[in-house]
Amino acid sequence: MNKHKGHLLDVHLNPNISGLKPSATVAINDLSNELRQKGKEVYKLGLGQSPFPVPEQVVEALQKNAFQKDYLPVKGLRELQEAVAEHHCRTFGIEANPDDVLIGPGSKELMFLLQLTYFGNLVIPSPSWVSYAPQAKIIGRDILFFPTSFENDWHLTPEELEKLCHIKKGEPRLLILNYPLNPSGTTMDRDRLKDLAEIADRNHVVLLSDEIYGKIHHDGQHESIVNFYPEGTIFSGGLSKWCGAGGWRLGVFVFPRPLRWLLDAMAAVGTETFTSTSAPIQYAAIRAFQEGPEINDYLKRSRRIIKALGNHISKKLEEAGVRIRYPHGGFYIFPDFSPFKEKLKAKKINTSEKFCRRLLEDTGVAMLPGSNFGRHPEEMTARIAYVDFDGKSALEAVRSISTDQPLGEHFLKTYCGNVLKAINRLSEWIHD
C-alpha cells in the first residue's frame, strides 16, 4: 500500500516562483550540450563564460590555501576586504575602507540579497542582464524597465533618467546600470556617466553599478560612475569575468558610507543564508585583487584578443547587412537582424526566440534571443557571447606578437576558428 498521502504532496509553489524557468543562459547551454552529445556540431555562443584560464598566480594561491577550512566572517576575510578596498582606491582613485566591502558567493547572490534587503522597486534598462528581473520577481518587487536604443548604444540617456525620476516621485527604488554592458559590450563615456550621476544625486537614487566587465574594457579605459556619485553608488564586481573564475563563485560589493545600514542588513541576511564565502577561494582572491605585473600582463593579453575578435566579427556581420554596435568591453555583441525581418517572416520566424531556436537547429550556432534581455519578443535582436575558443592557447600565442601589430585574420582563424565559422554560418543562413 502506498504510505504517502497524496494531499501532502500537492504542489504549493510560492506564487512569485510560478512560471519561473531556469535562467536563459543555463538553458541554452544545456540544449547545446545535448545537441553536441547527439553528434551535432555546436558553436557555443550562448553562455557568457570567460574563455581564459584563471591566472597561474591566482591558481597557485588557491592550491596553497586548500587547507583553509574555517567558516569566515560573513562580510568576508579581513585581508580580502583590505585588498578589495586598496584595489578600489588604486583603480578609481576613491577612498574605500575595508569595512565598506562585502564579499559574497558571486555578485549574482549579492544582487539577490540587495534586492531582498532594500525595500524598493527595481529600475533596469532594456536590454539588460538576464537575472536582474527574475530576482525582483522572486522577491515580489515591481520592475520598471526603461527603454534604450541602438542609436544610444543601448544605454540610458540623461533625458530618460530625468523622466524616470518623475514617475512615482519619492518612492524608493534601486537603479542598476551595467557597463560595459551584457548583452552588447558597449559602454558609457565619462560625460554620459557624469550627467547620469548628477541626476541620480539630485533625486537621491540608490544606484547599483554593475562593473563586472570593467577590467576587460578593451582599451583598459573603464571609468566608474562611483567617481561622480560616490555617496549613492554601490559598486559591484568580482572574479568571474576578468579573472576567468566564474565557477569559483566570488563577488564583491563596495558600499558608500551613507549606505552602511544596507551593508549591515545584507550581512545579517547572509548569516542566515550562505554563512560565508568559500575560505580557500577568498584567500586566493587576495592575490587576484593585489594584481601586479603578471596579472596586468594577463589582462592586457586577454583584452587584446577579445578586442580583435569582437571587432572582426562585428565587421563581418555589418558586411552581411546586420545592424551592429561595435563592443568596447567584455565578450558580447548584440546584433540587430531587423533588416532581414521580411525574409525571416517568410520562414515563419517572427520572434527572436524562434529565430535563435531555428538557427541552432539548422546551423548549430547557439545564441540568446533579445527577448531574454527584456526586448520586445518580435524585435530581431540576439546576444552573441564570442567565447567558443581555447583561451589558454590564444593567450600563449599572443605573447609572441608585438603589441604594435594588430591581431589579424590569420591569428583569429588559428585560435578562434570556431567563432569565425559560427559567424560565417550565421551570415549565410540569414541570406538563405
Ligand X SMILES: Cc1ncc(COP(=O)(O)O)c(C=O)c1O
For ligand X, what does the binding mask look like between residues 129 and 148, x meaning CB under 6 A?
A: x-------------------
What string of H, E and C letters represents the secondary structure of the chain? Answer: CCCCCHHHHCCCCCCCCCCCCCCHHHHHHHHHHHHHHCCCCCEECCCCCCCCCCCHHHHHHHHHCCCCCCCCCCCCCHHHHHHHHHHHHHHHCCCCCHHHEEEECCHHHHHHHHHHHCCCEEEEEECCCCCHHHHHHHHCCCEEEEECCHHHCCCCCHHHHHHHHHCCCCCCEEEEEECCCCCCCCCCCHHHHHHHHHHHHHCCCEEEEECCCHHHECCCCCCCHHHCCCCCEEEEEECCCCCCCHHHCCEEEECCHHHHHHHHHHHHHHHCCCCCCCHHHHHHHHHHHHCCHHHHHHHHHHHHHHHHHHHHHHHHHHHCCCECCCCCECCEECCECHHHHHHHHHCCCCCHHHHHHHHHHHHCEECEEHHHHCCCCCCCEEEEECCCCCHHHHHHHHCCCCCCCCCCHHHHHHHCHHHHHHHHHHHHHHHC
Q: Does 178 bind ligand X (CB under 6 A)?
A: yes
Residue 102 Cβ vs ligand X, minimum distance, rounded to whole Å: 13
Which positions from 75 through 114 interact with ligand X, judged by CB under 6 A?
A: 106-108
CB-wise, 129 or 337, nearer to ligand X? 129
Q: Which of residues 221-260 bind ligand X (CB under 6 A)?
A: 238, 240, 246, 251
Residue 322 C-beta: closest distance to ligand X, Å = 23
Closer by beta carbon to ligand X, 183 or else 256: 183
- Is 371 a binding residue for ligand X by CB under 6 A? The answer is no
The smaller minimum CB distance to ligand X, of residues 179 and 415, is found at 179
50 binds ligand X (CB under 6 A): no
Nearest CB to ligand X, comparing residues 211 and 379: 211
User: CB-wise, 157 or 178, nearer to ligand X?
Assistant: 178
The one among 212, 313, 384, 398 contacting ligand X by CB under 6 A: 212
Binding mask 397-416 for ligand X (x = CB under 6 A): --------------------
Rounded to a whole number of angstroms, the minimum distance from the CB of residue 41 to ligand X is: 25
Position 270 contacts ligand X (CB under 6 A): no
Closer of 234 and 344 to ligand X (Cβ): 234
Residue 242 or residue 411: which is nearer to ligand X going by CB? 242
# chain residues binding ligand X, by CB under 6 A: 13
Q: Which residues of the shown chain bind ligand X in the complex (CB under 6 A)?
A: 48, 106-108, 129, 178, 182, 210, 212, 238, 240, 246, 251
